Structure 1
Amino acid sequence: MLLAHRNTRWQFSTEQERSSFKWDVQETTTVFADGLVEVRSEFAGPRGASTQPLHARTSGRSSVDPEHVPVRLSPAPVEDFLCRAPEFGDWQVFAPFLAQQGHEPATTVVLNDVSVDEGSGPLRATGIEQLFSSGACDTPDGPAVVEPVDAGLLRITSGQLAVSDPGWIREPRTVAVPPGEFLVTLSLLRTTYGVDVAAAKVTFSDIPPREWEMALRPDEDLGLLGEGEFYGVGVDTGTVAFMDATRTVIEDELDEDLFIPLDGRFTVELPGTESEPNLIAFRAGRGDGSYPVWIGRTDDGQVGCVVVDFQLHSSGGGE
């Protein structure tokens, strides 16, 4: 069952005051589990309610002294404020509450299927393969040339690939992959503005991916994303790195060993010690931000590659 615990109604003098939310009276009804009903009536006063912020008005706070807010207490059967928990689409359950607000609910509700725009929903992995295909292409900045280059072999020892800003690897995006050494490839994009890293890929299989999925953390839900949105790797140093999930870095040495060398290069490798795998870092497109990480899976569901797309080829990008 559902309990209508709190209900707030506002009274306006005119439609114009309604549009600007300058209410005359705010009445809040609260129903408690023991059957006691509390009704609090707040009056805006001669200057109206416009002097109060919306969050204050809707949360029950106002310039009126709480001790002088009219409060009415009365007993009532809790059953009067209960309704059964509805199945999806069974909106008629809420009709009595709408009637209490002064609405006239329809006697029936008709649900119709609607077409879903192909471009709606979370960001999709489109054209990932083309990011690493040599040749001319069109970008929002005009004609460009794609040039894939090798960035070295990444050594994975733990079976977990981590994708992160090397200056902040406390919460990396991780992907379960086989241990071994795997080629890292950068996609350089040459435009009239210069050369940037458009994407980076670490390849685990020679079999081309059949489908792509967004790399997610356990607490992330695609269903919560709006159109064009994505969960991505956060970048605050202009740099992203592929590494084994057990790899650690000495932050005091990053400037000298990684960030300064990247001023004149596209990629830098931090070799591993006897007990640590290596780390391959590269420039993040044109700077800081958040970028999608895609997992390419083969026909049998295995991870074929992992790609970071810096979205230099797309006109819009996501959030």
Structure 2
Amino acid sequence: MDYAVLLSARERPLALVEYWPRRMWRVYLFDDRSWRMQMIDLKPHSTGMLWAHRNTRWQFAGEQEHLYSKWEVQETTTVSADGRVEVRSESAGPRGASTEPLHTRTSGPSSVPVRRFLAPVEGFLCPVPEFGDWQVFAPFLTQQGHEPATTVVLRDVSVDEGSGPLRATGIEQLFSPGTCDTRDGPAVVELVDAGLLRITSGQLAVSDPGWIGETPRTVAVPPGEFPVTLSLVRTTLGASVAAARVTFLDVPPRAWEMVLLPGEDPGLLGERQFYGVGVDSGTAAFMDATTYHRALLAAPYACTATSSDPGPGAVC
């Protein structure tokens, strides 16, 4: 399974190591201010070791710029498997750096000087750690100016498990029209009627319409037609849909439960994790289960409309 490990000293973060089952690794490095200033991507090399094929560093003008990922300079070093190195330095454009996540920025530089040279690939390799063998990543800490040591001793430390898996809280407030505060400043919540959802099979299916899988999340509901409501949050930056709901009873919900697929165990969820519907396409769809299975047969062309009628029994 994928996991992340935090290396810290005296309650100060030094490095965050992420691992994915496809044998990909990523290391974030922090400076003395606990700012994330560097990102190293590693993948398997033909030698059987890990190869740091991409190393990205950022410079920020101040704390506010760091908070919103508005870098001043981004330097990216890419290394080929045979030691060919390219160093690309980007400066923020006239409008400042992008507010996109740090590793997704691809445009807006005012100058992009590039250096290319050859270097021994051994200098970019490190052993593949067994689980718990985090000393492998200790040498990376010197890249952020941390004091090197002859011996590094790492101890596993118990951490507060917090509130556990993500819980459905504050949902009613999402559907209470009026003013509210967001990280983008004051906002106004507006409710939008999205029409009626027709249920004939007694099963409501929910899915990302851009990713129709064979096993949808379904819940038993009474047959009939039920109103769909969108919660629209409007700020100075514009308006966006914060939530969508189907109303079956005109009474407040007593409790919220996750809809589980076979094999999903809530007891295995970690801090703020949950089982739910992915929205990689930026949209979600409510539909009758029979409509879902028809859409599965027609995928990938099913239920892609967002502003026109996608067909009976479905609301995107």
TM superposition score category, shorter chain reference: 0.3 to 0.5
**Greater C-alpha radius of gyration:** 1
Between the two structures, name the one with larger relative contact order (CA 8 Å, sep ≥ 6): 1
- When normalised by structure 1's length, the TM-score is 0.46
